[in-house]
Amino acid sequence: MTEIVNTFLEMRPNLERIISHRMHCRHTAQDLTQELYFRVLRIANELPSQSDARRYLIRMAINAANDHVRVENRRVELLMGNIGLFENYGSCPQDSALTDEQIKLVSNAMLELPKKCRDVLYLSRVEGLTHAEIAERLGVSRSMVEKYAVRAIIHCRHCLQSQDAATETKQ
């Protein structure tokens, strides 16, 4: 265990540079490098040689940076998607009534879907999980999660479009 810790301490500046290069933020790179140290402590007895440890540490640094970027990008996507929810906040009563009606339509459309489709849509859109994370949580394949998500979105969109068409016909 001491050998891996010494290898980590020796490589720490290089690991930090690798992460910083990918992140473009020295402070985040320092935080992620510190997190790597704790991960290294957990797997210290599993690495057979110092050269294996070096390669593994570099791979861990790259993966940590990539994971952090992916999570941050997903967070930004979710926040940008939620901006639309508040764009018309405080608008006229007719728009508010229309929005309430659309929410009811989507709610009813969701109830028409199988449970797994509803769960996938909730986990991806509300909790912000990736398809791989949802697949693991629900015990299905990633491609099945993608199929459930597409099915749910198409169904909800169809229900909203049907209502829009009915509204236009009345006018």
Mean pLDDT across the chain? 81
Q: Is the pLDDT of residue 125 over 60?
A: yes
- Whether pTM > 0.75 for this model: the answer is no
By the 10 Å C-beta count (0-12 exposed, 13-18 middle, 19+ buried), 83 is classed as: exposed
Q: Is 56 in the same domain as 104? A: no
If we measure between CA atoms, which residue out of 94, 92, 147 comes closest to residue 121?
147
Q: Are 68 and 18 in contact (CB under 8 A)?
A: no
Looking at the structure of the chain, the number of domains it has is 2
Q: Is 7 in the same domain as 72? A: yes
Instruction: Report d(CA 1, CA 98) in Å as an integer.
Output: 63
Quote the domain boundaries for residue 124.
Answer: 90-170
pLDDT digits (tens, 9 = 90+) for 20-54: 998 888 898 999 999 988 888 887 777 667 777 78
> How many Å is the Cα radius of gyration of the chain?
24
Confidence band, pLDDT 50/70/90 cuts, at residue 138: very high
Q: Which of 74-83, 124-133, 139-148 has maximum average pLDDT?
A: 139-148
Q: Is 41 in the same domain as 95? A: no
Q: Looking at 78, 98, 115, which one is the last position of a domain?
A: 78
- Average pLDDT score over residue span 97-117: 82
CATH of residue 23: 1.10.1740.10
Domain membership flag for residue 37: yes
Q: Is 101 in the same domain as 164? A: yes
Q: Tokens 């906040």 correspond to what residue?
A: 89
Domain membership flag for residue 108: yes
